[in-house]
Amino acid sequence: MRPFTFIGLLSAAALASAAHLPPRNYASHDYYAIRLTSSTSPAELAAHLGLTYDGPFPALENHHVFKAPKHENDIVDDAVQELKRRRRKREVGMEYHVLDSVGFTQKQKLKPRHWKRSQIPADPKSKESDAVKTQREIANRLRIKDPIFEEQWHIFNVVTPGNDINVTDVWTQGITGKNVTACIIDDGLDMDSRDLKDNFFAEGSYDFNDHEDLPVPKLSDDHHGTRCAGEVAAGRNDACGVGLAYDSKISGVRILSGDITDMDESLAINYKMDLNDIYSCSWGPPDDGRTMQAPGILIETGMITAVQKGRGGKGNIYVFAAGNGAASDDNCNFDGYTNSIYSITVGAIDKNNNHPYYSEACSAQLVVTYSSGSGDAIHTTDVGANKCTAQHGGTSAAGPIGVGVFALVLQARPELTWRDVQWLAVMTAVPFDQPSDWTQTPGTGRTFSHQFGYGKLDAWAIVEAAKTWKLVKPQAWFWSPWMHVKKPIPQGDQGLASVFEVTEQMLKDANFERVEHITLTMNVEHQRRGDLSVELISPAGMTSHLSTARRDDEAPYGYVDWTFMSVAHFGEKGVGKWTVVVKDTKVNSMVGTFTDWKLRLWGECIDASKQKPRPLPTGHDDDDHDVIVDHPAHTTSIVIPTPGTKTGSVNPSDMPTRPVNQKPSSKPTNTGAQATETPPSPSAATSTSSSSTSCATASPENFLPSIFPTFGVSKRTQIWIYGSIGLIIVFCGALATYLFLARRKRLQSSRDTYEFEVLDDAEDDENSRMLSGGAAGKKGRRAKRGGELYDAFAGESDEDLLSESEDGGGPYRDRDEPYDEKAAHREDGSDAEGSNASGSSGGKRQ
């Protein structure tokens, strides 16, 4: 037998070092893991085979580690096999051999490294697309390591290339928002978020709800402002994604989390207007399809002050979300914030370039950009140290993408004025292939749709254009006198038209060169406001649908000094006959009278040296209201037939009465042209012939020649026109093509109602509540909020929106009582743009 004590001692020595096996050196040695029966000691085996014993496995019984200088063979196994062979050949006997104690032996081999489980293998079924590779290359080039960057499809869409904001080639030029500050006016901004803290600009921030310096989100649903901020200025870092202007500064002004007054709101929208360049406003009056509400005079004055004095006199940029009320017929021209000439109104499209059911249309909408719908939403920063959301949506999420883009524009060209930024948006937005009332505008040749404005923002295109943009001259204006109509409005097919002719001399006297915005202030008495619609036809033949019928708007008093706005006339000369057509679209017992109207043209002046800034509103600017001016271009009130219905030759679905979700008509060119389908009465003929733009009747004054149009604009503009993605509807040359397409589309979809996309899956209950609960006071949480947040989510159902408009009276209801509205107006006076029923603002802010 073996000398037992000796073995015991050796084992003890080995055990002592068990906890710390000597480090292995695979470069110089082979290692063997061997299980031994207890009858043999490791030392004996080591001696027998010429191995070095390193020690036992700390945890595995009878397992030991041996090593030998590197050698090709497996010394242990070779010896074991050799013993077996010799026994078979009887060269050795069956008596005990030291190798008989080897129960298991394994020479150690280096193996491929394990993967950390955080690395998810690519799905072999989905071949990596070129777009994914490009996205990765861009991220590497820009050193973007943000974990959700690849989810941010609105920045770089790998699924549908092109359906994104087209920003990455702006970033590679180093244009990332440096030296530009955007201010999110909202429910707070989480300045402690890792994604925002480096860009947070405390000096431009304030909390008007809790009257504190920092706009800390405090209520459980105060995440809206932070999400918007992330879209603009989330940093390039290891948290969430990046903002469109990831090197810009971001400030927050908190107003939506408690009671405020017009004064607070005025202070808020002017807060640090020399430090904050852009104000992002993703909120507004209720989108319930029956509210008609405008900023009070303090707020209006605040905005005028900001565009005249803010940003070193270049004017602050206000960006407003268009509103989420489309499913209940709402229209952003019933919202005095979105229809202000001083704000850029941004609507939404979804990742498939579809119109999401919530996004409102109006003639005041300048552009659209991406947001929720088709089962996805915007991925951005959320409240919390390192929290992200994949659920940001509604026009609320579209607005801040616009803000981010404008921040890039201002870095590229800091001297742009607020009007230059609007011009650039008009000239570079990209129309796309979706059914709408796309119309080539006579002013710029750009294509406009009431649903999509001038198209979708393209960051690269607008920044490139900004670099060489010739700054516009100061703003001039021309105001017509009050035009007194005072005639009953026929019902149904008919419209009551009134014409005002602007002469060249009038514009010369006003130092007015060309049109940018049109506002039209009007009084219409009616027993049911929702039955009314209003169109404005310019001398060049462009029709703006200023107002559209709203099924839930029961207000029994019509329009009281309401100001509508249109951006569809940018670039027009303005000289000639402007025709306003008021319609009472429903044949019922509710009737009304068109009282009066006043047209205002806003645009570029002729002689900059003579142009003074617009005086601030005094509250008495409409004192001429009842003065009858013996004006040479006296208004004529005429009845013109609504297009198509008399002759029956035009499908009623082609009627331009409701641009929202209107499918392309067989008259793609200009809805105004349809107003002349049927020869009107002699008196009307004069006023409408000039508005005709059909090929057959195109007059020399028309900006649109018959074939291969130059659009009557500069060569440069034409380059823009032809350069934009091939969706521009050419008037006559392409009419045949268009007719084919339009016809095909009509055949594909059913009749005149565009189908809303409604997704059933409720993706974000909380956010659904935000909208529906926000409007419905009974749900309480938002009861004291100053305005609605323009969130709408893919999962939100129509029901939410409808139930909202069915319940009796939450705090966001339009509280206007007919007499209050009038009384408030007369008391308040109205500013020069029309006070837009400022009486309602009291109700709104309670």
Which residues ranging from 271 to 300 are in contact with ligand NAG (CB under 6 A)? none
d(CA 34, CA 609): 97
Beta strands in 108-259 (DSSP E): 181-186, 206-207, 249-254
Q: Which parts of 487-597 fold into alpha helices (H)?
A: 504-509
Using the minimum distance from each CB to ligand NAG, give the nearer residue, 429 or 742.
Answer: 429
d(CA 493, CA 585): 7
179 interacts with ligand NAG by CB under 6 A:
yes
21 interacts with ligand NAG by CB under 6 A:
no
Could you confirm whether 396 is annotated as catalytic? yes
Using the minimum distance from each CB to ligand NAG, give the nearer residue, 132 or 633.
Answer: 132
Interface characters, 443-462, with ligand NAG (x: CB under 6 A): ---------------x-xx-
Q: Looking at 78, 82, 130, 169, which residue binds ligand NAG (CB under 6 A)?
A: 169
Which residues ranging from 459 to 498 are in contact with ligand NAG (CB under 6 A)? 460-461
d(CA 827, CA 533): 27
725 interacts with ligand NAG by CB under 6 A:
yes
Q: Which parts of 190-234 fold into alpha helices (H)?
A: 224-233
AA letter at 415: E
Query: What are the tokens at 419?
Result: 């009007």
Using the minimum distance from each CB to ligand NAG, give the nearer residue, 166 or 676.
Answer: 166
Using the minimum distance from each CB to ligand NAG, give the nearer residue, 169 or 798.
Answer: 169
State the minimum distance, in angstroms, from the CB of residue 25 to ligand NAG.
53
Is 585 within 8 Å of 454 (Cβ atoms)?
no
State the minimum distance, in angstroms, from the CB of residue 430 to ligand NAG.
5
406 interacts with ligand NAG by CB under 6 A:
no
Residue 846 CB neighbours (<10 A): 12
State the minimum distance, in angstroms, from the CB of residue 601 to ligand NAG.
31
Burial class (CB in 10 A: 0-12, 13-18, 19+), 190: buried
CA angle 433, 357, 645 (to 5 degrees): 70
156 interacts with ligand NAG by CB under 6 A:
no
Chain mean position to CA 20: 61
State the minimum distance, in angstroms, from the CB of residue 166 to ligand NAG.
4
State the minimum distance, in angstroms, from the CB of residue 182 to ligand NAG.
12
Using the minimum distance from each CB to ligand NAG, give the nearer residue, 13 or 719.
Answer: 719
584 interacts with ligand NAG by CB under 6 A:
no
Q: Report in angstroms the alpha-carbon separations of 703 from 117, 180, 572, 677.
A: 64, 38, 9, 20
430 interacts with ligand NAG by CB under 6 A:
yes
Q: Report in angstroms the alpha-carbon separations of 7 from 4, 13, 18, 38, 40.
A: 5, 10, 16, 10, 8
Which residues ranging from 240 to 259 are in contact with ligand NAG (CB under 6 A)? none
Q: Report in angstroms the alpha-carbon separations of 790 from 422, 548, 656.
A: 22, 21, 27
Using the minimum distance from each CB to ligand NAG, give the nearer residue, 271 or 482.
Answer: 271
Active-site residue, selected from the candidate residues 154, 224, 355, 484: 224
778 Cβ contact list (under 8 Å, min separation 6): 807, 810
Active-site residue, selected from the candidate residues 54, 186, 187, 221: 186
Could you confirm whether 223 is annotated as catalytic? no
Using the minimum distance from each CB to ligand NAG, give the nearer residue, 267 or 457.
Answer: 457
Using the minimum distance from each CB to ligand NAG, give the nearer residue, 430 or 704.
Answer: 430
State the minimum distance, in angstroms, from the CB of residue 501 to ligand NAG.
40
Instruction: For residue 409, give the nearest of 624, 178, 728, 593 by alpha carbon.
Output: 178
State the minimum distance, in angstroms, from the CB of residue 717 to ligand NAG.
17
* Nearest residue to the partner ligand NAG, using Cβ: 169
Active-site residue, selected from the candidate residues 251, 340, 396, 449: 396
State the minimum distance, in angstroms, from the CB of residue 421 to ligand NAG.
14
414 interacts with ligand NAG by CB under 6 A:
yes
Interface characters, 360-399, with ligand NAG (x: CB under 6 A): ----------------------------------------
Could you confirm whether 186 is annotated as catalytic? yes
432 interacts with ligand NAG by CB under 6 A:
no
Using the minimum distance from each CB to ligand NAG, give the nearer residue, 179 or 749.
Answer: 179
d(CA 293, CA 645): 33
d(CA 144, CA 236): 6
Q: Report in angstroms the alpha-carbon separations of 85 from 60, 91, 253, 627.
A: 30, 9, 88, 124
Sign of the torsion angle spanned by Cα atoms 629, 633, 639, 643: negative
State the minimum distance, in angstroms, from the CB of residue 346 to ligand NAG.
18
State the minimum distance, in angstroms, from the CB of residue 370 to ligand NAG.
13
State the minimum distance, in angstroms, from the CB of residue 521 to ligand NAG.
35
Is 559 within 8 Å of 523 (Cβ atoms)?
yes
Using the minimum distance from each CB to ligand NAG, give the nearer residue, 82 or 203.
Answer: 203
**Cα dihedral 681→682→688→692 (10° resolution):** 100
Size of the site for ligand NAG (CB under 6 A): 9
Is 653 within 8 Å of 752 (Cβ atoms)?
yes
Helix (H, G, I), strand (E, B) or coil at 78: helix
166 interacts with ligand NAG by CB under 6 A:
yes
Q: Which parts of 320-472 fold into alpha helices (H)?
A: 395-412, 418-428, 459-468
CA angle 533, 536, 540 (to 5 degrees): 155
AA letter at 276: N
Using the minimum distance from each CB to ligand NAG, give the nearer residue, 134 or 686.
Answer: 134
Residue 743 CB neighbours (<10 A): 12
Q: Which residues form the catalytic set? A: 186, 224, 396
The site for ligand NAG (CB under 6 A) is made up of 166, 169, 179, 414, 430, 458, 460-461, 725
